[in-house]
Chain A
Amino acid sequence: MNCKEFVELISSAVDERLEKETLKNFYQHTNVCKICRNVFELEKLTKNFIKTRIQSLQTPDYLKSRLISQIKSSDMSRSPIQLWRNWYFAIPAIAAIIIYLIISSPTSHHYHTCPNDNNIIHQAFNNFDAVIDGKIKPAFVTNNLSDLESFFKERVNYTVKIPKLRNCVLVGGTVSQFDEEKLSHVIFRHDDCIIYFSMADFRVVGGNKSLTLPQNAIDELINTGWYYADDHECCSVILCLKDGTLCIAAAEMKKNKLMAYLTDPELQW
């Protein structure tokens, strides 16, 4: 066996696919050619390295359950194909309308005029407006808390725990990026109003890197775990810390009412 023939068989040898006789010739060549032996050893090391360092992944539960329910609800054999196809293509538009109807508030909305800067409180006010306007839509629509937590777990490198707010319906969530940092957005609905949460890694925000917080807010969060943003008319924003994650709750309701949701003795968070 010459070097050219040897090189052509390297992958098969690494994957243990050579016949006994060919394998014997292959190994005989490694005894006489150190370069070929080294190239073979390197490919074997590469395969084993990839195999041990990159694991096969399992489908996240939220995705599996979402797909199964989509399949069940889209079984076209229950209706004529053409009709189903028409609906199939209409699904994104219908979903957008449903999301808009779910999250758009029937009451008139007061807009904030926060600067579009790095201050995460300003961003929370602006994002809250965007949620009400339907400009920020949940990428994952679900009323299941743990499914949404799994969704975030796949996308951000900090813990996102979602509170089980009394008498509120979870609408869904999405992730956005500001510079290098990822923000998680969670939307609840209660009667005719929206309760919106923005979450971020407190280590990043507290370190005043790309996302910032006023120093008095950082101090108060560290000391008490809570901070009330300056009141805007009809709208309250409350900041708190949960397992190292900064959670900013915003809603068009009085501060005391929003605080009551967040400090409900029966709240599971």
Chain B
Amino acid sequence: MIPKKNQTVKETEFLNEAIPRMDSLYSFARRLTGNAADADDLLQDTYLKAFRFWDKYQKGTNISAWLFRIMKNSFINRYRKESKEPETIDFDEVQEFYTKAKDAVNNDDDLGKKIFSGLLDDDVTRALDSLSPDFKTVVILCDIEGYTYEEIAEFIDIPVGTVRSRLHRGRKMLQSKLFKYAKEKGYIK
């Protein structure tokens, strides 16, 4: 695209390549930080940094991965220090959930449906927020944003095997949280 009047080549390139990725980065930031104000700041940090270091981006490589890496570093450097630690997962709860799943297996094939049927969207968001950023990141990118393991591995710079194991553990933790909420609400005994 020919730069418009008063628009530099760099600005044109950046606007054409980075702006179309903004929605998935915003969505990720919003889920990761858990609130709109921090998501706004995180997205702003990411885009201003990306623009500032645009000459470091290798043209033709995965622009989303480059932007996600900048966002991840911004989050670690700033928000993770400032924000309160996420609610820790009680591994006894996970154990209880699996014991329950095993016990129920012979007489209740619908345990999962019972857990999920009555829960509200807020319960799901609360359960997701309770995960630590490492687990939350892979669950958001895979289950909400629909990225592949390979893309996620590239975005956050970890091996594909680690993506897979974090996903499995992250989903297990989510199940145990949802199980706890369903129990509190009386959907299951």
Contact = CB atoms under 8 A, between A and B. Distances in A.
Do A and B originate from a single complex?
yes
A50 B115 CA distance: 13
Interface residues of A, number: 45
Interface string B72-83: 000000000000
A74 B165 CA distance: 41
B62 interface: no
Contacts of A58: 23, 26-27
A77 B19 contact: no
B1 interface: no
B31 to A, nearest CB: 7
Interface in B1-20: 7-8, 10-11, 14-15, 19
A57 B44 contact: no
B112 A45 contact: yes
A71 interface: yes
A159 B67 CA distance: 34
Chain B: interface size category: 35 or more
B52 interface: yes
B116 interface: yes
Contact of A68 (B15, B23, B109): B15
A61 to B, nearest CB: 11
Interface in A167-188: none
Interface in B68-110: 98, 101-102, 104-106, 109
B168 A10 contact: yes
A155 interface: yes
B180 interface: no
Interface in A1-51: 7, 10-12, 14-15, 17, 34-35, 38-39, 41-43, 45-47, 49-51
A75 to B, nearest CB: 5
21 contacts: A11-B165, A11-B168, A11-B171, A17-B149, A35-B105, A38-B111, A42-B101, A42-B112, A46-B174, A50-B139, A50-B143, A50-B174, A51-B143, A54-B31, A54-B121, A54-B124, A55-B144, A56-B23, A56-B145, A70-B48, A71-B51
Given A43-B171, A51-B143, A59-B43, 16 more contacts: A7-B168, A11-B164, A11-B171, A38-B102, A47-B171, A49-B178, A50-B128, A50-B139, A57-B30, A59-B22, A63-B43, A67-B44, A71-B11, A71-B47, A74-B48, A75-B8
